[in-house]
Amino acid sequence: MKKSTILIVALIAFFAVTNFKLQAQSKELQELREIAIIDQKVRIPMRDGVRLVADVYRPKTDKKVPIIFSRTPYNFNNWVDGKEITTIRVRKALEAVKKGYAYIVENERGRYFSEGVWDILGTPVTDGYDTFTWMKNQPWSNGKIATYGCSSSAEWQMAVAALDHPSHAAMVSQGYGAGIGRIGDIYEQGNWYRGGVFQMSFMAWLYRVEHDKFKPRIPKDATQEDLIRISRYYDLDPENPAVDFEQAFDYLPIQDGIKNLKGKTEIFDKMIRREPNDEAWYKGGLYHDDMEIKVPSFWFASWYDMSITPNLKLFNHVRKTTKDKAVRDNQYLIISPNLHCGFTRGSSENTMIGELNVGDARLNYTEQIYDWYDFLLKGEDNDFKAKTPRVQYYTMGSNKWQASETWPPENSKLTTYYLNSNGDANSLYGDGILSTTKAKTNNLDTFTYDPMLPIPSFGGTPCCDDSILRGGAFDHQEEETRDDILVYTSDVLEKGIEVTGFIESTLYVSSDVKDTDFTIKLIDVHPDGKAYNLDETIQRARYREGYEKEVFMKKGEVYKIDLTAMATSNYFKKGHRIRIEISSSNFPRFARNLNTGGNNYDEKEGIVAHNTIHHSSKYPSQIKLPIIKD
C-alpha cells in the first residue's frame, strides 16, 4: 500500500474516532438538557460581600431534592475553543440528576469567575458554610446536602464539616490528604511536609494552577447573563509555558524555584518559609485534630497516594473522638491499590500500578456512594449498612478485596524485624539482613550522602502528575546497586505472610553533620529478584523530638529516630523476601537536606554527610510489620 493511501486511511480513522467521541459527548449533553434544569454562572454571596460562581443542575420535578455539592479550584467551564464539551463535571451532573439529586459545582474564592483573592486552603472556611446556607434556602432544596470530590474537591471538606452546618448531611472525601494539617504526631500540613521535609510536587502544582494577580477580572456590575455569554469565549483558564521540571526541581535555592520559571511566586514564597508547626498553618482551611468532624463520612484512600498514612489516621481519629454516636457509626472507608484519585480510571481487569499488575481491582464505587446518599439524604430504608463493610481494602500480592470492622484489622499484630549486618549493608550486594532476631554484636553501617548527588525518586507515592514524577511500584534492583543505599533483606519466606496495617520504624543514627534526613522504603522481593516498592517515608533529624522545636545533632552521638508510619496491605508470597532500603534522600519526591543545619530553602550549597545506622542490643534499629494472624 502506498504511503499516501496509508495516510488517507489513517486520517479517515482519526476523524471517524473523533466524530464518534463528539457524538457521544453531544449525546450526554443533550441527555442532561432533557432531564435537568440548568442554571449556570450563578453568583452565591458570602458574608463579606464576595460572590462565588456556581453551575446548578437539578431534576425537572416539582419535588424538593437533596443536593450533591462539589467545590473546586479548577476550571469547570463547558466551553473550550468555541465548542461546548462534555467535562467530568457534566458527567457527574448527569449521574446525579438521573438519580434524583441536584448537582452544584462551585469555584473557590478567587478562581475563574468567582470573586475575591485565592489562597491554597487559605480562603475562609465560612465560604463553605455560607454556600450551604444558600443551597438550603433554595425553594427546590430538601435541605440536605452532601459534599463530594477528590483531591482539591475533597481537601476543603473536613474543616467545613467541623463547623457543623445543619444541612451538611454527608461527606464523600477522596484523596483528601492535602486538607489534613496536624493529625496526632503527624504534621504534614496539607502534604506540604513529610517528616519535616518539603514535598517538591507542590512547587510544580502551584506553578501550573496559580493565576496571576493581574489576570482579567469581571466587573462587579456584570450580570449572570453577561457571565454566561463571555464564558463561551473567555474561560479565564491560563496555560503556563511548559517547563522542564527535572531542571526546575534541581534549582537552588528552593525558594527561587518558581521565580526561576518566571511563574507567580506569592503563595509559594510565603509557604516555603513556614516551619512544620508555624501558626499560619492553623489559620486557613486545613483540618487539625482539635476540630470535631460532625458529619457522616465515606472516605476513599489509595495505597500509592502521597498521604495514605494521615488519611487512615484521620478515619480512626473521627471514629474515636466524635461525640455523636450516629456520626461515629456512619464512618466508612475504602482503600484501593491506585495512585492519587485513580479509583475508577486506574482500575481494570488488570490494574497496573507502575510496572506491577495487581489484578482486578475494580469495585462498584458509584453504586456504594449513591446507596449511602439515598440512605442519608433521602431517608431510604435500603440495605446499605447491612451489606457495606466498615472498611474495604485491597490486598496486593493476593490481589483481592477484603473487609474489616476496624483499621487495621483486629487480627493484625505488629512483629518486629531487626536490622543486622557485618558492617557492609551498602547496596544490593552487601550483607544487610532483616530478621526477627536481634543483632548479637554491635555493628553499624555507614554511607555517604552528597546532596548534590541524591538518590533519584523512583515510583512510590508522589502527586499528582505522572509526567513530572511517576508513581507506583517499580523494580528497584538497579537503584539498589548504589553504595549510598543500605539494603536489608529477609530470608526467603517458607510460607506466605500478609502485612496489613501501619508500619512503624525506628532507627538509631549518628552523623558528622548537624542535620540530615533518613529515608526508608518497604520492598517486596520476587523470586526472580525484582524488588517492588510498597511505601516510603522520610524524617528530618532536627525534628526527631517533635515539630515544636529544632534539636541539632552532635558528631559521634547516637540518636533515636522514629519515622512517620507507613501503611500497606500486601501479601508476601512463599518464595518472596521482605526488604527495606535506607538512605538520606529521595529526590525530587522530597527536597534535599543540604546538611548545613540552616534553613535549607534559602541555601545554594550543601555539604557531604557521612551517616551511620547502628544495630545492636543497645541500638536495636528495627521495623515493625503488621502481620495478619490466623
The mean pLDDT value for 65-90 works out to 88
pLDDT for the residue numbered 125: 92
Question: Which pLDDT band holds residue 476 (cuts at 50, 70, 90)?
Answer: very high
Q: Taking the model in full, what pTM does it have?
A: 0.94
Q: Cα dihedral sign for 507, 508, 510, 514? A: positive
When mean pLDDT is compared across 39-53, 71-85, 218-232, 485-499, the lowest value belongs to 71-85
Residue 364 has pLDDT above 80, yes or no: yes
Interaxial angle between packed helices 88-98 and 3-35, expressed in degrees from 0 to 180 and rounded to the nearest 10: 40
Backbone torsion region of residue 501, taken as left when φ is above 0, otherwise alpha when ψ lies between -120 and 50, otherwise beta: left
Distance, first Cα to last Cα, the chain: 64
CA-to-CA separations, 176 to 149, 172, 209, 301, 315, in angstroms, rounded? 9, 10, 18, 8, 11
The grid coordinates of residue 333 equal 472507608
Spatial distance between the Cα atoms of 306 and 192, rounded to a whole number of angstroms: 10
| Cβ atoms of residues 603 and 596 within 8 Å | yes
Q: Are 524 and 531 in contact (CB under 8 A)?
A: yes
The mean-pLDDT minimum among 59-73, 231-245, 521-535, 567-581 falls in 231-245
Residue 200 has pLDDT above 50, yes or no: yes
Q: How far apart are CA 47 and CA 67, in angstroms?
A: 21
531: left (phi over 0), alpha (psi -120 to 50) or beta: beta
Give the pLDDT confidence score for residue 7 in this predicted structure: 47
Helix or strand holding residue 96 (H, E) = helix 88-98
Q: Across all residues in the chain, what is the average pLDDT?
A: 93
Given a cut of 80, is residue 176 above it in pLDDT? yes
pLDDT at res. 572: 98
pLDDT tens digits for range 321-333: 999 999 999 999 9
| pLDDT score for 1 | 52
pLDDT at 543 over 80: yes
Alpha carbon distance 187, 194 (integer Å) = 7
Distance between CA atoms of residues 428 and 406, nearest Å:
37
Amino acid letter, 605: E
Give the per-residue pLDDT at 235.
Answer: 83
Taking the C-alpha atoms of residue 365 and residue 154, their distance in angstroms, rounded to an integer, is: 16
* pLDDT of res. 327: 96
From the number of C-beta atoms within 10 Å of its C-beta (0-12, 13-18, 19+), residue 277 rates as middle
Which three cell numbers, joined as nine digits, stand for 469? 514524577
Quick one: pLDDT band at residue 25, thresholds 50, 70, 90? low
pLDDT for the residue 15: 45
Question: What are the DSSP calls for 268-331, one per residue?
Answer: HHHHTT--TT-GGGGSSS-B-TTS---S-EEEEEEEESTTHHHHHHHHHHHHHH-S-HHHHTTE
Give 495's pLDDT tier (boundaries 50, 70, 90): very high
Residue pair 183/314 in contact (Cβ under 8 Å)? The answer is: yes
Judge whether residue 81 has pLDDT over 90: no
Backbone angles phi, psi at 9, to 5 degrees: -60, -45
The answer to which of 344-353, 458-467, 535-544 has the lowest mean pLDDT is 458-467
Confidence category of residue 78, pLDDT binned at 50, 70, 90: confident
Confidence of residue 5 (pLDDT cuts 50, 70, 90): low
Length of the chain as a residue count: 630
Biggest CA pair distance of the chain: 79
- Phi and psi at residue 523, to the nearest 5°: -125, 140
Q: Which of 13-17, 190-194, 405-409, 418-422 has the lowest mean pLDDT?
A: 13-17
How many other β-carbons are positioned within 10 Å of the β-carbon of residue 61? 12
At 585, give phi and psi (nearest 5°): -155, 155
How many of the other CB atoms lie within 10 Å of CB of 145? 26
Indicate the SS3 state at residue 401: strand
pLDDT in tens, 47-68: 999 999 999 999 999 999 999 9
| Upper half-sphere CA count for residue 350 (Cβ side, 13 Å) | 3
- 630 vs 581, which has greater pLDDT? 581
Domains of the chain: 1-153 (3.40.50.1820), 412-628 (2.60.120.260)
Sheet containing strand 400-404, strands side by side: 36-45, 51-59, 102-107, 65-72, 141-150, 168-174, 297-304, 331-339, 391-395, 400-404
